[in-house]
C-alpha cells in the first residue's frame, strides 16, 4: 500500500458496533472489536464507541478478557431534545463516566466524550456546562441547522472542545448535502478546529443509499478534501467537486503524496489533515475495507491466498 494512503487512513475508524445499523449486543461488539485490533485491519481501528448508558455493561464484559492493554473508549453522551434534557443528560453521563473509570480500572482508557448539542442557539451555554466535566477530549455534535457556522466558531474559540457532525442515519434528512458538508470542512480547516464525523461513511466514494434514499458521502473524499483544503485553501466549489468525485482514477496515491484535480498533498500535509479530521464512527470495519478493495485502492490479504 502506498504510504500516502496508509497515512490518510491510519486509525481513522472509531468502532461503533453497538449502534445502528449493526446494533450488536455488548458481548458481540467487544468480541468483534478485540478481534479487529488484533487482525489484518487493526491499523484502521481506533476507539471503541460506547454510549454512557452502557458503560457498566462494557466494564463487566472487559473483565472476561486477558487484555494486553487498556481498550481506548469514546463515550457517547445522552441524546437531548432541548436544554432541559441536555442538563439532565450531562448529570447522568458524568456519573456513568465516573463509575466506569472506577470499575474498569486499567482495562479501559477513556479517550473522548461526545456530547450532542440539541440546537445551535445556546452553544455558549453548552460549552460552559461541558468544560472540565470529564478528564478527556470533548466533542460537541452540532445539528445541521442555522447557526452551525457560529457554533463552530464558538467551539474553536473555547480552546478545549472539538467539533462533531453526523453524516448519515435512518432518514434521508440525516445526510448533509454536499454544500453543507463542504462548508463544514472548509470552516474547520480555516479555524484549525479538529473534528470527527459519524454515521453514513461506509464507502470510500459517494454512493446512493437505497434503504434510506440518502446520498452517502465517501470517507476517502472527505479525508482528501480536509487534507487538500488545509494545504491549499480550496474554494467551496473545489471542495464540493472533490466530495462529488466518484471515479477512483481521479485520486492518485504514491509513497510521497496524494493528488486530486491538480492539487497535491505531501506526507506532512496529510498528517496535518489528519490532525483536523481525527476519526469517523462506523459500525463496520470490513465494509469500508471491502469498498477500498473494490475500488482498487487496497488489496486484501485474503485475495492472495
pLDDT digits (tens, 9 = 90+) for 257-271: 999 999 999 999 999
Given a contact cutoff of 8 angstroms between Cβ atoms, the answer to whether 184 and 144 are in contact is no
Confidence of residue 149 (pLDDT cuts 50, 70, 90): very high
Average pLDDT over residues 138-154: 98
Given a contact cutoff of 8 angstroms between Cβ atoms, the answer to whether 140 and 161 are in contact is yes
Given a contact cutoff of 8 angstroms between Cβ atoms, the answer to whether 125 and 101 are in contact is no
pLDDT score recorded for residue 305: 45
With a cut of 50, say whether residue 202 has pLDDT above it: yes
**Cell numbers that stand for 123 in this block:** 452553544
Average pLDDT over residues 126-138: 95
What does each C-alpha distance from 181 to 106, 166, 188, 221, 236 come to in angstroms?
38, 10, 11, 11, 10
pLDDT score recorded for residue 213: 76
Where in 43-136 does DSSP place strands (E)?
45-51, 71-76, 108-116
pLDDT digits (tens, 9 = 90+) for 270-294: 999 999 999 999 999 999 999 999 9
CA distance 288 to 124: 36
pLDDT score recorded for residue 302: 60
CA distance 202 to 197: 12
> DSSP of 218-256, one letter per residue?
PHHHHHHHHHHHHHH---HHHHHHHHH---GGGEEE-SS
Confidence of residue 170 (pLDDT cuts 50, 70, 90): confident
> DSSP of 22-63, one letter per residue?
T---HHHHHHHHHHHTTSTTGGGEEEEEEEGGGHHHHHHHHT
pLDDT digits (tens, 9 = 90+) for 212-238: 777 899 999 999 999 999 999 999 999
Confidence of residue 211 (pLDDT cuts 50, 70, 90): confident
With a cut of 50, say whether residue 175 has pLDDT above it: yes
User: Strands 257-260 and 263-266: what pairing?
Assistant: antiparallel
Averaged pLDDT score across all residues of the chain: 95
What does each C-alpha distance from 70 to 67, 94, 181 come to in angstroms?
7, 20, 34
Specify the higher pLDDT residue, 15 or 170: 15
Average pLDDT over residues 72-80: 96
Architecture category of domain 3-292 in CATH: Alpha-Beta Barrel (3.20)
User: In the chain, what percentage of residues exceed pLDDT 90?
Assistant: 90
Confidence of residue 171 (pLDDT cuts 50, 70, 90): confident
Q: Is 114 in a helix, a strand, or coil? A: strand
pLDDT score recorded for residue 53: 97
Spell out the domain ranges in the chain: 3-292
Confidence of residue 80 (pLDDT cuts 50, 70, 90): confident
Amino acid at each position: 500500500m502506498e504510504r500516502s494512503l496508509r497515512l490518510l487512513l491510519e486509525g481513522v475508524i472509531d468502532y461503533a458496533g453497538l449502534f445502528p445499523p449493526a446494533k450488536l449486543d455488548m458481548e458481540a461488539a467487544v468480541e468483534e472489536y478485540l478481534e479487529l485490533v488484533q487482525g489484518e485491519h487493526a491499523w484502521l481501528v481506533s476507539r471503541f464507541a460506547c454510549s454512557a448508558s452502557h458503560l457498566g455493561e462494557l466494564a463487566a464484559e472487559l473483565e472476561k478478557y486477558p487484555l494486553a492493554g487498556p481498550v481506548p473508549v469514546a463515550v457517547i453522551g445522552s441524546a437531548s431534545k432541548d436544554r432541559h434534557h441536555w442538563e439532565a443528560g450531562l448529570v447522568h453521563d458524568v456519573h456513568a463516566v465516573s463509575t466506569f473509570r472506577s470499575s474498569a480500572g486499567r482495562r479501559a482508557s477513556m479517550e473522548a466524550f461526545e456530547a450532542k448539542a440539541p440546537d445551535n442557539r445556546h452553544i455558549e451555554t453548552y460549552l460552559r456546562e461541558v468544560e472540565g466535566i470529564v478528564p478527556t477530549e470533548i466533542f460537541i455534535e452540532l445539528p445541521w441547522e442555522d447557526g452551525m457556522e457560529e457554533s463552530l466558531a464558538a467551539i474553536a474559540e473555547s480552546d478545549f472542545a472539538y467539533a462533531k457532525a453526523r453524516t448519515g442515519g435512518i432518514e434521508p434528512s440525516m445526510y448533509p448535502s454536499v454544500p453543507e458538508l463542504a462548508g463544514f470542512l472548509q470552516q474547520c480547516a480555516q479555524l484549525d478546529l479538529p473534528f470527527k464525523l459519524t454515521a453514513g461513511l461506509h464507502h470510500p466514494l459517494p454512493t446512493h443509499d437505497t434503504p434510506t434514499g440518502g446520498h452517502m458521502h465517501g470517507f476517502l473524499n472527505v479525508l482528501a478534501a480536509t487534507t487538500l483544503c488545509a494545504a491549499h485553501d480550496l474554494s467551496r466549489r473545489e471542495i464540493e467537486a472533490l466530495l462529488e468525485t466518484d471515479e477512483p482514477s481521479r485520486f492518485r496515491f504514491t509513497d510521497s503524496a496524494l493528488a486530486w484535480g491538480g492539487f497535491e498533498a505531501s506526507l506532512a500535509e496529510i498528517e496535518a489533515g489528519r490532525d483536523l479530521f481525527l476519526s469517523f464512527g462506523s459500525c463496520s470495519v470490513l465494509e469500508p475495507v471491502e469498498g477500498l478493495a473494490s475500488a482498487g485502492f487496497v488489496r486484501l490479504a485474503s485475495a492472495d491466498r
